[in-house]
Chains A and B, each alone.
Chain A
Amino acid sequence: MPMSDTPKPVTPSGALVLLILRVLQSGSLHGYAIAQRIHILSSEVLAVEEGLLYPTLQKMLVKGWVTAEWGISETNRKVRCYCITPEGRRQLEAELSDYDRVTQAIQEVLRTA
């Protein structure tokens, strides 16, 4: 697996939740796969660290945005897979529009300042 020189850690809080929700939208994934998917989709720019991923997932579980169920990994191992809930979808939409608003605002500032 090719490794970029400096994979940037994802900034905590909002962004990671948004990314996780987004990658889970297309189907349930286990923890490692979530990290991988984000890493690959970001063209290997973003790296999700284990130490941040699991606390975030736990928080999302408690919030009810995702649920966990047992699945079998590609290596044939019993592992928990996370899938998005209707509530999670609503949260994703809200966060997306939030994100759009903020980036637009930042763009605006960058353009006009």
Chain B
Amino acid sequence: MGELFRRIQYLLNRRQLDRELENDMQFHREMAAAAGRSNFGNTLRMREQAREAWGWTWLDRLIQDLHYAVRILARSPGFTFIAVLVLAIGIGVNVAAFTVFDAVALKPLPVRDPGSLVRLERRSPTAYTDGAPYTSLLFYQKNAKTLSAVMGVMGVPPMQVDQDIEHANASFVTANYFTELGTPAALGRLFDPTREGDPNTAPSVVISYGFWQRRFGGDTSAVGRTVHIDGKPATILGVLPYAFASLGGQGPDIWLPILQQPYFVAGSHTLTDPGDSAIRLWGRLAPGVSAKTSAQELRALTNELRRQHPNDIWDNEYISISPGGHMQVMQPEQYEVVAMVAVLTLLILAVACANLGGLMLARAVTREREIGIRVAIGANRARIFRQLCTESLLLAMLGAVAGLGLGCTVIQIALTQLDAPNKWASAVPDWRVLLFTVAVMFAAAVFFGFMPALQIARQRQHKTIARQILVGAQVAASCVLLIVAGLLVRATQHALYTDPGFGYQRMLSIDPYLGHHGYSPAAAQAFFDQMQARLRATPGVLSVSLVKLPPLGHEVDRETTEIAGHKVFVYPNWVEPGFFQTMNIPILLGRTFYPREKNAVIVSRSFARQQWPNQNPLGQRLGDDAATKSTVVGVVGDAHINALSDSDATEQYWSAQLDDLPDMVLLARTASATDSLPPIAKSISENLDPKIFPEIRSLKLLYHDNVSGIEKAAMAVSFIGIVAVMVAGIGIIGLVAFTVSQRTKEIAIRIALGAKRAQVLAAVLRQFTWPVAIGLVSGAGFAAAASRILRRALYGISNFDPAGYALAIVVLLAIIGLAALLPARRALRLDLAKTLHYE
């Protein structure tokens, strides 16, 4: 330590110390001269040697090299600008992607002690659910010694506030939720375990900052007011802060105490039913307790719980504990997407680097004389190599700074444009992002600087192989990006311009959530019968029916079966006989169900085709055991009502039974626009049962929301792909122009001797043919392998969609061709006499 300290002192006082050293030597020489000796060496050199002992020579050299590099770069501002721009794009895209990942998965939430927050999920070797029953929450809360607190959140269907047409998103939370997170109230107070922990406290609600602004115009007198939530009066206790960080990144408008859930949702048994896994659990580890210890204790507690409720706790069930102090608790499937995005963004960096490497090599030829002189006056290869690397590093630094700025700007724009619910997220880079940027900077410097520097230091810049490798790499990487972009664009088009197989234009889904209100099947039947009859009587309503899993709904059920060795996703649904007519789904073969028909199934066309190729599907059997064994009574058109993005989806419809009724949803198709129907439906429902506040949604809006999300993603990827291709194009233009300028004389001689123009062009461009071909093939292969992951995002498009691939390759070839021909044309317009007389 002391030595390092002294070294740094020497660095700081180097001028003075150098003078002192000079003085020492001067004195030495004087004395030696007086003694009659005069064989001194080169004093400057000796002083340098002495200084080397301080251990800062590398720094001197680095500074020297940096000075030199700054001069070199300043002398060719055009090159520097292009290089920094290309790098800024390459690095900026990566910084932006990492910033998002950081915010979602790495950055601790701005809450009290985020490190000890954990997410608790029910798992067994064969099952998983993100919810747990309230009775389990109470049990763990009471008995777990390794957890200092257990918090629960229950998302519920949107609720009506007073008479608002648009319902507010709502969550029930345990009373300790806000105190455990250490959230201060922006106004009023938040839930307090000593008060809202008692079910008999006056009903209350906490509202989000955004809701307070939107609905109350930021009026401070909103606190203390009484509002009616689904018709039940409740007092507004307080307002959450603007930048409130919730667990799991949820952002509902209104928060209600979970103990008052039976009051707000009349007839519900959620708090007492040990089979109702509706509550997401979070915990806080007790001080000094590790997640592992806690997991052991919870496993023992779960075993005890199983003894109490043998039907509701799975065999081998345990509670998995994962770090909960981030915006999102990452699941393994999500890492797949992260890896995919990372590969794409790194490819852009690779294109940028390969590009810059080519430019550096080309520039080296023009710098031949300079480097030649430096070698001639005694610089060795290592020194020149180091100098070139310093230059690359300086470029990379400039690029990284610009890229950081670019990435953060993009994120800032995205944050304001998308109006993200997590207001605490910011585009200002934290230390992780900065560290990442530095790492990317070094990686980039190595990628684009190392090989050219090596070639140049060995004075081999005329060798074409390095250039060919760089061109090949660029083409391959751009090819992958373009293909992925092409596939996404095609997928969007498909989603936008093809019929999804069901009518969504003038369709409403009306969900009364009867089950949540404790309706019995018979009561539900009575309710729906009345409601359907009255809706049918409403002018403009063409058709009404019931379905269990409504199109584009909150819930999706998916099963996987294997047909002839390949995996097929089956989306089951339970419907009333009139469903197909209401939804405009054509019945292709057979008939629809009879009411409450048992052991009958209707399948979609794709399913029938895959399961029974070239056979009549009618009369075929599905299911193995007696209870589910069913006969196919009809085949209907494909309608991916809950899997717009899954082209492989197939559907199976079962006739809804009496027991399904409390969970059913009404569908209504109207003759003209649906605008006038919601208030009517609402009043009908209120008339039938004032407890019920149906959620009414327009399928058209849902459909467009769904599609626009994919559209945005496709646009972003296409944009990135086009940027990558542009960057590659610039690089190829540069390389070909350089090749032409290098071979001017040869070309002139060929033309003078009577070569045809096409032959000349071919001769110039031949060296790029193979790299481009190899690049295209390997790029397409890689894209095919990688896009398997994308498959689920591709709306109705196979990941081997030939049109997507062909389009990408054609565009890429066109750009490469253009980039090659533009500068190559110069070769054909040479002034022969002048060129040949030169030299």
Please give the residue numbers on chain A whose beta carbons come within 8 Å of chain B beta carbons, in ascending order.
1, 3, 30-32, 35, 49-51, 53-59, 61-64, 68, 73, 75, 77-80
Whether A79 and B27, one on each chain, are in contact in the complex, defined by CB atoms closer than 8 angstroms, is: yes
Chain A residue nearest to B9 (CB atoms) is: A62
Cα-based distance from A83 to B3 in the complex (angstroms): 17
Q: How far is the CB of B22 from chain A (nearest CB, A)?
A: 10
A-B contact pairs, 6 of them (CB 8 A): A31-B24, A50-B41, A54-B21, A64-B6, A73-B31, A79-B23
| 5 tightest Cβ-Cβ pairs between the two chains A and B | A58-B53, A59-B53, A54-B50, A32-B31, A55-B50
Question: Which chain A residues border B34 with CB–CB below 8 Å?
Answer: 75
**Which residues of chain A have C-beta atoms less than 8 A from B40's C-beta?**
50
A-side contacts of B31, CB under 8 Å: 32, 73, 75
Q: Which of B38-67 contact A (CB under 8 A)?
A: 40-41, 45-47, 49-55
Contact A80 B20 (CB under 8 A): yes
Q: Is the interface of A mostly helix, strand, loop or mixed?
A: helix
CB of B7 within 8 Å of the partner chain: yes
Interface membership of B32, Cβ < 8 A: yes
Contact B28 A80 (CB under 8 A): no
Decide if A51 touches B41 in the complex (CB within 8 Å): yes
B623 in the interface (beta carbon within 8 A)? no
A31 to B31, CA, bound (A): 10
Q: Specify which of A3, A57, A80 is in contact with B23 (CB 8 Å cutoff).
A: A80
Q: State A30–B32 Cα separation when bound (angstroms).
A: 13
The answer to whether the Cβ of B703 comes within 8 Å of any Cβ in the partner chain is no
Complex CA–CA separation, A63 to B5 (angstroms):
10
Q: How many residues of B sit at the interface, in one of the four size bands?
A: 20 to 34
B25 touches A54 (CB 8 A): yes
B58 to chain A, nearest CB (A): 15
**Are A30 and B27 in touch, CB under 8 angstroms?**
yes
Interface of B: prevailing SS: helix
A62 adjacent to B6 (CB under 8 Å): yes
User: What residues of chain A lie closer than 8 Å to B51, measured between beta carbons?
Assistant: 58
Q: Which residues of B contact A77 (CB under 8 A)?
A: 27, 30
Interface residue from A35, A63, A78 paired with B28 (Cβ < 8 Å): A35
Q: Which of B31, B41, B47, B51 has the most CB of A within 10 A?
A: B31
Does B25 lie within 8 Å of A62, measured CB to CB?
no
Q: Give CA–CA (A51, B3) in the complex, Å.
A: 23
A77 to B31, CA, bound (A): 11
Residue contact B53 to A50, C-beta cutoff 8 Å: no
Most buried by B among A51, A59, A68: A51
A84 to chain B, nearest CB (A): 16
**Known A1-B36, A35-B28; contact A62-B3, beta-carbon cutoff 8 A:** yes
- Given A51-B49, A63-B3: A58 touches B27 (CB 8 Å cut-off): no
Closest chain A residue to B35, Cβ basis: A1
A32 and B32 within 8 A (CB): yes
Chain B residues contacting A62 (CB-CB under 8 Å) are 3, 6-7, 10, 53-55
User: Which residues in B have their C-beta under 8 angstroms from that of A73?
Assistant: 27, 31
- Check B2 for interface membership: any CB of A closer than 8 A: yes
Complex contact B41–A64 (CB within 8 A): no
Contact of B49 among A1, A35, A55, A61 (CB under 8 A): A55
Q: In whole angstroms, what is the CA distance A80 to B26 when docked? A: 11
A79 and B24 within 8 A (CB) = yes
**How far does the Cβ of B33 sit from chain A's closest Cβ, in whole Å?**
11
CA distance A59 to B52 in the complex (A): 9
Complex Cα distance, B32 from A77, in Å, reads: 15
**Residue from B36, B40, B49 with most neighbouring chain A CB atoms (10 Å):** B49
A32 vs B46: C-alpha distance when bound (angstroms) = 15
Q: Which residues of A are found within 8 Å of B24, using beta-carbon distances?
A: 30-31, 54, 79-80
Q: Which residues of B contact A55 (CB under 8 A)?
A: 46, 49-50, 52-53
Interface string of B64-77 (1 = CB under 8 A from A): 00000000000000
A3, A49, A64, A78: which contacts B2 (Cβ < 8 A)? Answer: A64
Shortest A110–chain B CB gap in Å is 35
Looking at the assembled complex, report how far the CB atom of A78 sits from the nearest CB atom of chain B, in whole angstroms: 8
- Once bound together, how far apart are the Cα atoms of A103 and B55, in whole Å? 32
